[in-house]
Structure 1
């Protein structure tokens, strides 16, 4: 891989759960609105960062996992 994971396991799980909730809220509570689509897109990004274990914004501020 070209990147180093910077998210611990518990945070990866929380991002996945939160992303699913954001997608559901955006598409079901605000159907057909730009705000709903924006919330759903943010949820998709949260799921992607949780799945990959790498957050670009965390990397920008220098966040790293402790070395084993």
Structure 2
């Protein structure tokens, strides 16, 4: 309830789940296959994708004007 006061979610639930799973897999594989600094940089970037999945808001999707169907129907 509190989170809807600050931003409108623009990711459907199926995409949120997919982002979390894919981000965690990419982060784990990056650290495993690229030891050193490059692996950690890729892993931290992948955790940004996980964060967008957990929050339900993607800034790039918002810049492109993407909205959920139920949010667009309210306007």
Q: Do they fold alike, i.e. is TM over 0.5?
A: yes
Aligned mates of 1:41, 1:62 — CA distance in 2: 26
Within 5 Å, which residues of 2 pair with 1:41-60?
A: 41-60=44-63
Aligned mates of 1:55, 1:14 — CA distance in 2: 13
Q: Larger radius of gyration, structure 1 or 2?
A: 2
Cα shift at 1:43: 1.2
Structure 2 portions without partners, runs of 5+: none
Aligned mates of 1:39, 1:14 — CA distance in 2: 18
Structure 1 portions without partners, runs of 5+: none
Name the structure 2 match of 1:62. 65
Q: Normalization by structure 1: what TM-score?
A: 0.90
Would you say how many aligned residue pairs link Structure 1 and Structure 2?
A: 67
Within 5 Å, which residues of 2 pair with 1:1-68?
A: 1=3, 2-34=6-38, 36-67=39-70
Q: Normalization by structure 2: what TM-score?
A: 0.82
Moved over 2 A (4+): none
Higher helix residue share: 2
> How big is the alpha-carbon RMSD for the aligned residues of Structure 1 and Structure 2?
1.2
